[in-house]
Structure 1
Amino acid sequence: MPLDVRRLLTSETWIEAAYNPKVGHAAVCLWCEAWHQVPAGSLPDNNRVLARLAMCDARTWGRIRAAVLAGWVKCSDGLLYHPTVAEKALESWGHKIAQRKRTEAATAARSANRKSKPGKQEQNGHDRQRGDRAEQRHDQRDAPRNVHQETGTGIGQGTEIEERAPAGCSAEEGDHELSRLASQASMAMRRAGLMHANDADPRLKAALAAGVGVPELEAAAKEAHAKDLSFAWAVAAAVGRRRDAGPAAPIRGVDYHGRVGLADKFPSVLAEFDNREPIDATAIVISS
């Protein structure tokens, strides 16, 4: 997060921190946490969550809350925003978009240069042949095919799984579907009180790949928030309950590179769930 030192040192919050250092510490913690919230630059209007994000106990937070939240405004979406933090977030977003456009322009320029570069006719023929062979290898590598995987838990016990890429679905569509579901799930879990829910967490993606629904994750998040448990506990509890309820259908149409199903994208994460007995949601605690 960018830090405007001159504006910080002359702000009312920092002047107050000279008399009460806990105010400065809590304010900086909230600024940093706001930068990683969704949307960026926002904070939830929840004293319990704010106290935890500010790294102070409830009693201390009650004493310094007014000074720390000076300048923060509650908006129509129910979240708190600070004008300076929002300004920096918008500037960073603008820089990101500009960098993306520069990268796309440079890529297009290199591609045009390669196409217009003069060369001998014979060399061009060889280049075309090499390109055709490369495309053939790429097509063969991306072509859907069956994959057999054997697993076992002991002598005479085992299962064989056969997965085929669904017709009409590309790897890019599968990635987009997983990202969309992970974003929905993380937002639902944040609404339930787990502010550290992360849509990029491999455990969350593995759970969604295994067929766990967003409502199940949200319900587990509410229980975890009520019991002051972690995000990882909520994901594991949702997976365990889905498994106890019966076999879950994986996300339809998700296949990576036409070779394996989405669940195989996270083998180490799913192994953590698969090798565990059915979860007792009232007893298990998994550290995040």
Structure 2
Amino acid sequence: MTDFDQLPAPLTPPDCNLRGLPFMPLHTERLLDSDMMALSTGEEFKTALRLWCKSWNQEPAASLPDDDRILAHLAGKELPAWRKVKDMALRGFVKCSDGRLYHPVIAQEAINAMQRREEHQAAKDGDNERKREEREDRKLLFAALRDVGVVLPAKGTSTSHLREVAASRGISIIVTEGHKSVTVTPNGSHKESHGAVTAKTGTGTGTYIKEEAAAAELSREGDPVGNFPPPPAAGVESTAAHFAQLLDRWERERGKAGAFHPGDPLLLAWADAGVTNAELQAAHTKAVKRRVRANDQAPVNVGLLDAILPEVRVKPGVTSAVARAETRQDPAAWALTWSGLVAQGAGLGIAQEQGELDPNFKARVHAAAGLTDADRARLFADYGVRV
């Protein structure tokens, strides 16, 4: 058995690489109460701090080589000067079985940072996949609309408007055995146009038009420029379409791109529950205020409105995202509302300090509760609420 076999295992994985992440957390209160602060001279403390920062971008992260010449170089000192401060500057570092020096506190922060980076990359990859599928759907719908005589500009046509036009012409995207195809039913006829692209089924990204669209009543000859007729004056579907138009317009007026379409299950549920235009506008106003308060540049979406509508309705009737989460006993339901966030913070002994910005308070509660980027992505996918 060698001497290295008796040493502890490395405190971070061999592939723990944080290059490109210059921010390193520093626990100030813990540092101020540490033995290092009490015992070190100014020069020793400056050298220790420099080595902590250098270890953050070493590989593995939170480690240093056990070589005086390299350590002197990293510390910015000549070898004799380095040896004078070495013992105090390396206080807290432990030698591990790979022959390198590791700092336990920095190692834990490095592991946390690596996990956050992986979660962020996974969320980014998922968002890129959603956008790719969205582009594929747009190509299929544009081609299908062109086949029935509707020509729309490729630029400047929102996805929600494109889907609305497609639904009015009886066009929907279906997925069979991993392949996308477009179903077209104008004037009661039926044909399928198969796309040349493939996609995963059951992704839940919302990029497919899953509901059955009603057949359009106008033929290609009767409407060559694609001026599709308005929806009927009554009915849940027409009310949902009206809601989508209102919300798109309100979002455009504040410089945002809306993403509302008549077949959205939530819009249909609001229409069925008798939500009025005034109630919808009140909910949208509150939603905008929440976005501004949280410094969130994202457009208002149906999930956020669904959570707010019960607060503004004269009569209850719409089940909110929070209610659905509570019914399912979702452990992260507290993150869907500000009141839930405050209550969760109180349970963890965290209160919003005077003058503290809402996003900073929210970040503290999320961190203390262990809410990850993956949890946020799931909450948005399940309930449509961005937390």
Using the size of structure 2 for normalisation, the TM-score is: 0.30
**Structure number having the greater helix percentage:** 1
For the pair shown, the structure with the greater C-alpha radius of gyration is 2
